Amino acid sequence: MRPPINRMKKFVTILSFVSPIFVWSNTITISPDTLYVSMQGGGTSIEQVTIYNQNSFPVNLDVLIIEQPSGNRLLNGSQNRYLSESPGIIRDFENDIQYMDSNGEWIEGVRCATLSTPEEVLLNVQQDLENNRLQRSNQRNLVNVQVAWHVIYSSSGAGNISNEMISDQIDVLNDAYAPYDIFFTLDIVDYTMNDDWFNDMDQYENTYKQQLNIDPIHYLNIYTGNMPFLLGWSWLPYSWPEGSYMHGVCLLYSSLPGGSSYPYNAGDTATHEIGHYLGLLHTFENGCSVNNDNVSDTPQEDDGNNIYSCNATDTCPNDPGMDPVQNFMTYTDDACLNQFTTGQGDRMTDMIATYRPGLLENPIAPDWITVNENSFQVPANGSYDLAFSFDGSGLTGGDYLVNIYFEEATLDTTLMLPAILHIEGITGLDISFESLIDTLYTNEFSNSFLEMNYSGTDLLIYQFDYDISWVTVLGGDGTLENEESQFITFNLNSLFMDTGEYFGEVTLSTNMGSLPIYLTMVVLEPLGINDGTIPMKFAVSNNYPNPFNPSTQFSISLPERVFVNIAVYDLNGRKVATLINSIMDNGIYELKWEGKNDSGSIVSAGVYILKVDAGTFHYNQKLIFIK
């Protein structure tokens, strides 16, 4: 898969694209208004799109294709947070390094001010990671970390770093993290002059973060300024709730590439602190203990003065391997640091899925759709044809969605074309469901039956693969000939399980391809009422149909009387329609959206967000409107 859209190389474009002015001008139109392609896995297709320009002058357009994936959020384990929620944190460290200030003078300071994690907390975190790994139904192999950069500088101009330094720092991060399929996209840069904040970022951390932060769920917020004797710090992902403004990375402005803080001025202070942001500990954490940094392929390293030296040492001789002096998560100079390990990459993947799933919801560039031209000109009062190629190779059954943006800088206009690729199941095989949702009380069993009907000419050899403790597939391997059928039993059990939602994936593997079957089990506490009509928990059903036209339906379950706000938003965060805004009694309600805005007009084809807020319950899901 390709890396995410790289906007950091065109800095001016970055700022304009973050908050574009969408002018849906009738003078530039696209046909069709939705690309919908259905094919078998492994198939290909080429679809034509025509852009019409009714202006008396030619129009230059750039094409940007963005996939908006799901973060596959889980409710169990990933909600645990283990450190104090008080923002009044006091950092008390002894000076352990020397670096140059802006005047070329050597000063004593602290390499990293990220707080250590108590051992009992690490045990809980490790359990969370393992639980999440078992539950989550898919593995994202690409993460786009969107960056919101906050430059804090003084009235004298100190700290007012250049766009070039920021862009160079993003390049350093991508060089370090790209081998582990983690990429950084610079989306937002803002500048704030405040002498108090600049001169003591440690003391005023709570204040400037509360005022400057941008969507910590989907953005890495980086703050640069001055901090007495500190190079930087971060918060570990399990320190705060996912949406807390306290998340983010704070850096000494002169530690960026080209800064004055030699020998820590090549940008790897940011690499180090973002490692903490993504859940990595120091390689010398816990010294020569067995757990060390909870990564198996980073050799143990004593936490003495050797952690500042790039010389080859082995301070834990009973553990295989030399000290990882070149690892980004130790304390050596920037010039020495050049690597993470495979185990650290895996741990970051687990940490993101467990504690920072919002990063998995950020847009990426898909590889199953391409366009023959990325930039083109539509003649005055004319049209232009583009060819979009769809490739189903390696894709399993289901729907794949992208938004295709056509940008015109002079007119400040952006038009969006939704594109949907539907991958059908295995050729000749029909199954009765591709996803299963079941609700059980604790210590219960349930059986669901998957019907398989085969109409192919060649022998179909199949098996069901899964690694889920609460599912047993009976009759899970065999063969089917033409016109044969088979019933497969999915046995779900909630033995000794806590209440909540559990997610899993069973893969139907055959000699003609494979497809996933997604499972959701909701475990409820025993009913405390007699009639069973009052829901035991807040819930929102999937809307059906989706994609839809002209309307889609969904239900909400309210276990108590509460104020409810339900609204539809577009992808730019603008409210389109309000469906509910009132106090509602407990119960189950069926609701419908007919694809109209609050003015009663039919909305444009595209992707919208259904947002449900009911007391402390908050829920979002995507709605795809087609014409």
Single-letter residue type at 549: N
Contact 150, 269 (CB under 8 A): no
Distance CA 54, CA 280 (A): 55
What is the CA 205 to chain-centroid distance, rounded? 25
Contact 135, 504 (CB under 8 A): yes
Contact 456, 497 (CB under 8 A): no
Burial degree of 410 (CB within 10 A; 0-12, 13-18, 19+): exposed
Distance CA 367, CA 428 (A): 26
Query: Three-class SS of residue 502?
Result: strand
For residue 552, what is the DSSP state? E
Distance CA 89, CA 250 (A): 14
Distance CA 510, CA 528 (A): 45
The one catalytic residue in 67, 205, 242, 273 is 273
Q: Cα–Cα distances in Å, from 60 out to 19, 319, 414?
A: 20, 61, 12
Query: Three-class SS of residue 423?
Result: strand
Read off the tokens for 131: 């639980």
273 included as an active-site residue: yes
**Contacts for 162 with CB less than 8 Å, ≥ 6 apart:** none
Distance CA 393, CA 367 (A): 10
Read off the tokens for 595: 């694809």
Please name which of 265, 275, 256, 33 lies closest in space to residue 149, comparing C-alpha atoms. 256
Print burial letters for 276-286: b (CB count within 10 Å at least 16), e (below 16): bbbbbbbbbbb
Q: How many secondary structure helices (H) and strands (E) does the chain include?
A: 7, 32
Distance CA 273, CA 592 (A): 46
Distance CA 407, CA 611 (A): 28
Distance CA 542, CA 624 (A): 12
- The vertex-311 CA angle with 305 and 317, nearest 5°, equals 75
Query: Three-class SS of residue 388?
Result: strand
Distance CA 244, CA 340 (A): 28
- Active site amino acids: 273
